[in-house]
Chain A
């Protein structure tokens, strides 16, 4: 079955360490996105990619970095510069940039202690 796989589901890291969240899709979608969700709040866009080898900053990109070397993969690195990294991170994809409904992965819950 086609879908988006995020791993790991839960992740614990010490403050000051960089951590990379994985996102892989086999839907042949061009566009991919990373969102952050804090408890009881909506989704805020971190980074997005319209096509392989291209990506743009979203609304809260500071302290994060991404790459898009393959169409299927869009990993997110949470760096030590991110002041409040504990959150639920959601990866999504769409057939084209914004025109169709997003398919979301099951998310990664990151806790930094």
Chain B
């Protein structure tokens, strides 16, 4: 079955440093979605990427979808304490567009002030 892997599993940074998490799927994806879960909270949808090579920005967050639509990355510039949480990628397989999402195991980000 489809597998979605994320690295690193944990990342500790000093406030102001940059942060990147990578997502790799075993199958081609029709789209990739990113979610953020604050400690003790629930996942919140951040963004969806659909096109091969697509890049989207949300303030200090930059999201990329790979050319082959099998990988993605989330980059945060100049982290702040409000960025603390676990970031998940998720996607449905391309051949079954619209099917259920498979989530990666997430990257847990801690930011030291």
B71 to chain A, nearest CB (A): 17
B42 touches A100 (CB 8 A): no
A28 to chain B, nearest CB (A): 17
Q: Is B101 an interface residue (CB 8 A)?
A: yes
A42 to chain B, nearest CB (A): 4
Q: Which chain B residues (86-101) contact chain A, with CB distance < 8 Å?
A: 88, 90, 92, 97-101
In the complex, what residues of A have CB within 8 A of residue B33's CB? 101-102
Q: Is B103 an interface residue (CB 8 A)?
A: yes
Q: How far is it, in angstroms, between the C-alpha of A104 and the C-alpha of B37 when the chains are bound?
A: 10
Interface residue tally on A, bucketed by range: 20 to 34
In the complex, what residues of A have CB within 8 A of residue B113's CB? none
How does the 8 Å CB contact mask read for A88-113 relative to B, with 1 for contact and 0 for none?
Answer: 00101000111111111111000000
In the complex, what residues of A have CB within 8 A of residue B1's CB? 59
Q: How many A-B residue pairs lie within 8 Å, measured between CB atoms?
A: 56
Q: Which chain B residues (45-99) contact chain A, with CB distance < 8 Å?
A: 45, 47-48, 88, 90, 92, 97-99
Q: How far is it, in angstroms, between the C-alpha of A104 and the C-alpha of B56 when the chains are bound?
A: 23
User: A41's closest neighbor in chain B, by CB?
Assistant: B105
Contact of A42 among B42, B44, B88 (CB under 8 A): B88
Q: Which residues of B contact A (CB under 8 A)?
A: 1, 31, 33, 35, 41-45, 47-48, 88, 90, 92, 97-106, 108
Q: Which residues of A contact B (CB under 8 A)?
A: 33, 35, 40-45, 48, 58-59, 90, 92, 96-107
Q: A40-B108, A97-B98 are in contact. List 15 more A-B contacts (CB 8 A).
A: A41-B105, A41-B106, A42-B103, A42-B104, A58-B100, A97-B99, A97-B100, A98-B97, A98-B98, A98-B99, A99-B98, A102-B33, A104-B43, A105-B42, A106-B42
